[in-house]
Amino acid sequence: MSGRKGRTGTALLITGVMVGVSLLFLSILAPGRGAEIERGRAASAQIFPGAAITVTLTPVAYLPNVYKNPATATPTLTPIPTVTPTPTRPTQPPADAAWAEQVNYIRTLAGLPGVTENSAFTDGCFNHARYMVKTDHVDHAEVVGNPWYSEAGNTAAVNSVLFVYGDTTIATRTVFNSWMTGAFHGVSLIDPRWQTTGYGSFAEDVGTWKFGACMDVNRGLGNVPAGVTYPVLWPGNGTTIPVLRYVGPESPDPLTSCPGYTSPTGPPIYLLAGDGNTTPAVTAHTFQVDGGDLDHCVFDESTYANPTAQTQDIGRAVLGARDAVILLPKAPLVAGKTYTVSITVNGVARTWSFNTPAVSAKGSEPAPDDLFLP
């Protein structure tokens, strides 16, 4: 499916159904020239070349996008008891920290191990990021015969989350957080089976899309790591969520399953009940702050509703691949608060709390203007 163009100064994000997410650290080399921003060679010890993991997947054609103006085995279900948040929390990396730090910080908030780099995936992602900027065309495929076509780039396109932007600079953290505010995007970033990845980006001051990024989230899927049990919660108990609101729109549109909801809402709260081999049945749920109940809606692979049958099927497939339950607050979250979530899934109540940052730091979440996830 072809990506849609936005007006100058906008951004576009694309993801896939069995996919996670990521982004990059960019540094423009020269105005008006193509810049090889970062081919994924992170200095972090958590990122290193590794062998590809072969996983048999059934591809699902799901390519949501995001437009945004630049700002001036059967799983074991482990009950989560109600507990007081612990004082030890992950530290959010700087807004322009390397892509490896950003993606692994997001995963840390769910108690998951980080992903590591496969250099072949990285090379392909760089090629496709360059293709998107040079051709001003965003898609999960490349056109054979185009001067910027490459086999590695085309393969990466099929297996990756994509992001394009209408300027040559953007905070890495903002892109990651934009993904996490989209229920059908962020869910793949916290898939515990995601183990290896590749990342590449490219920027040049040409066309509508001046910056492109690509992260492979399919070919590095493996088994659930030892020590990781379901359910996976994001943000996890005692952690601090880095985003306060969902501004959308996203496709599939989460708000079609929440009658009366309009943007902006709160960001999605995620519960992954399994690896796609179970069906979560939600029978009770609450969302509270300061002892008071807050309006929210909940949907999953069986209950997500959309007036377009095909779009509904896509949304349910995205959630079903991870047995995901989404809780969406009706209103944006408030800084400096502790929120408590309780969701009863398959007869087991899971209750946990998370915090919001004391101050909404610049670059910590997407700006509310012109954000689009088709």
Single pTM value for the model: 0.75
Q: Comparing C-alpha atoms, which of 249, 235, 223, 188 is closest to residue 373? A: 249
Mean pLDDT for 254-266 is: 97
Mean pLDDT for 95-109 is: 91
DSSP string, 333-355: --TT-EEEEEEEETTEEEEEEEE
pLDDT of residue 88: 52
Q: How confident is the model at residue 89 (pLDDT cuts 50, 70, 90)?
A: low
The yes-or-no verdict on residue 73 having pLDDT over 50 is no
DSSP string, 90-130: PPPPPTT--HHHHHHHHHHTTT-PPPEE-HHHHHHHHHHHH
pLDDT single digits (tens) 166-176? 888 887 787 78
Please tell me the distance from the alpha carbon of residue 106 to that of residue 92, in angstroms, as a whole number: 9
pLDDT of residue 266: 97
Of the two residues 171 and 99, the one the predictor is more confident about is 99
The H or E element that residue 316 is part of is helix 309-320
Please tell me the distance from the alpha carbon of residue 223 to that of residue 226, in angstroms, as a whole number: 9
Please, how many CA atoms are within 13 Å of residue 224, restricted to the half-sphere of its CB? 20
pLDDT of residue 177: 86
The yes-or-no verdict on residue 32 having pLDDT over 50 is no
Mean pLDDT for 174-202 is: 88
Of the two residues 283 and 2, the one the predictor is more confident about is 283
The yes-or-no verdict on residue 327 having pLDDT over 80 is yes
The yes-or-no verdict on residue 333 having pLDDT over 90 is yes
Task: Characterise 95 by phi-psi region: left (phi > 0), alpha (psi -120 to 50), beta (else).
Answer: alpha
Please tell me the distance from the alpha carbon of residue 307 to that of residue 360, in angstroms, as a whole number: 35
Q: How confident is the model at residue 288 (pLDDT cuts 50, 70, 90)?
A: very high
- For each of the domains in the chain, give its residue range(s) and CATH number, in order of start: 11-72+85-216 (3.40.33.10), 232-355 (2.60.40)
What is the amino acid identity at position 277? N
Is the distance from CB of 172 to CB of 103 less than 8 angstroms?
A: no
